[in-house]
Every structure is written in structure tokens, then in C-alpha cells.
Amino acid sequence: MEFFFHCLQTTLVAAEFPGGVVIGADSRTSTGTYVANRVSNKITRITDSVYCCRSGSAADTQALADIVSYRMAMHEIEMGRPAAVRTVANTFREMCYQYRDDLMAGILCAGYDRTHGGQIYSLPIGGMMVRQKVASGGSGSTYIYGYLDSNYKPDFTAEQCVDFIRKGVSLAIHRDGSSGGVCRVAIITANGVERRTFTGDQLFVPQ
């Protein structure tokens, strides 16, 4: 359960590499200043090839993710093929925009489809949708805009991209009180999804 002031807790980062996307998040859920869950999972499956990172109100984003996941499951049955990432993102966007005055949800929707490869769609509060190669969200993201801007290269390998994301989340955790715990990462490619968790020493800590 999240109790929010005006900022969004959490650090979310996502980056594209040729062949897929890597998305990462921290694992702290806070109620005011108390850490309600120190190992939460903010990377949520929507379909087998599209995942989302959630920031903002835990209740709002969980409800949205459940609804979009259900609609996309129906869509996939009817279409007979996996949903396009943009379709999932647009479904999120319709609801985020329609209920913009009632929701507090910032979502990164990322995945892989055969038509356009790896894609990341940023859906900030307010209900707009924009595709980005590198996207970030949550309160911790403000501390790492400089890091992300200066270190991203479009031709990363998957492992380099994971490293880039891991360092980004770690640096944000280092400075943002609302982010913490472990760094969870998901790599989404044509071969499916691989999830990893980086704990303790595996996080990057600046000297």
C-alpha cells in the first residue's frame, strides 16, 4: 500500500538495445517514511512479451495492470498472435487519460514484438504516451537523468544494457530515499523474458 505525498516513490529505467529491451526497477514500497515492502516487484507481466514498470500509487497501477493484462489476453486469443507493444501501451494510455484526474500512475510499458522489435513507451501522469529509446520514471529517476543521458549508447549488447540499467538504478537508490532494496531487471527479446535480481554487493556503489 502506498501513501503518496506529491512525489512518486520508486526508480524505473528502461533502455532499448538492438534485439530487445532491458527494464529495471528498485524494490522499495513505502508508506510515508516506513518501508512497507523492501523486496517488492515493480516489473509486472502484461503479456508474455510485454512487461510494465509501475510508479505512483500501488493500488492504481496494480488495478491498471490487471485490466490491461486481461484485455490483452482477450486480444491475443482473438487475433491469434502476440499483442503488439504499442497496442498494450495504447490500452494503458486510454485508461490513464480517461481517468487522469483520479489516477496517480506513471508507467513504463516495454516489450518485444516481431514487427518493430524492442520498444519502450513512456506513460507519465496525465495520460500521454511517447516512445523513447531510454526512459525513466519515479522519484529516483530525477537523480540519474545526467547518468542516463551521458552513458547510453544505441548499440549496447544485452549484457552492456543490463549493466547500464543496473548502475542507473543503483545510483538512484544511492541518492533517493524513496528508492531502495534490490535492483530487479528484465531482459525482453525475441526469445522471451529473462529476469534477474541484483542484491547487496551486486548493486553499483560509487566510491
Partner 1 sequence: MRFTTSTMDLMPLQASQPFDPSKYRYTGPNVQPRQLPNTRSQAPITTGTSVIGLQFDGGVMIAADKLGSYGSLARYQNIGRLMRVNDHVILGCTGDYADFQFLRDIIDQKMIDEECLDDGIVTRAPALHCWLTRVLYNRRSRFDPLWTTFVVGGLDDDGKPFLGFVDKLGTAYTAPQIVSGMGGHLATPLLREKMDGQPPLSEAAARELLIRCMTVCYYRDCRAFSKFQIATLKAGSIKIEDDLEVKGDWEVAHFSKEHA
CB of 50 to partner 1, least distance (A): 18
10 assigned to active site: yes
User: Which of 10, 19, 12 shows the shortest CA–CA distance to 159?
Assistant: 19
User: Which of 57, 42, 39, 46 shows the shortest CA–CA distance to 3?
Assistant: 57
Binding site for partner 1 (CB under 8 A): 67, 70-71, 74-75, 78-79, 93-95, 97-98, 100-101, 122, 124-130, 132, 142, 145
Based on CB atoms, which residue is closest to partner 1, 103 or 193?
A: 103
CA distance 38 to 9: 13
Q: Which of 10, 11, 44, 91 is catalytic?
A: 10
Q: Cell numbers of 117, please? A: 522489435
CB of 37 to partner 1, least distance (A): 27
Based on CB atoms, which residue is closest to partner 1, 48 or 94?
A: 94
- Identify whether the C-beta of residue 144 lies closer than 8 Å to the C-beta of residue 136: yes
Based on CB atoms, which residue is closest to partner 1, 98 or 157?
A: 98
Residue showing cell 527494464:
23
Based on CB atoms, which residue is closest to partner 1, 74 or 190?
A: 74
H/E run at residue 89 = helix 85-98
User: Under 8 Å CB-to-CB from 86, ≥6 apart: which residues?
Assistant: 116, 119, 121, 131
CB of 93 to partner 1, least distance (A): 8
Tell me which residues are annotated as active site.
Answer: 10
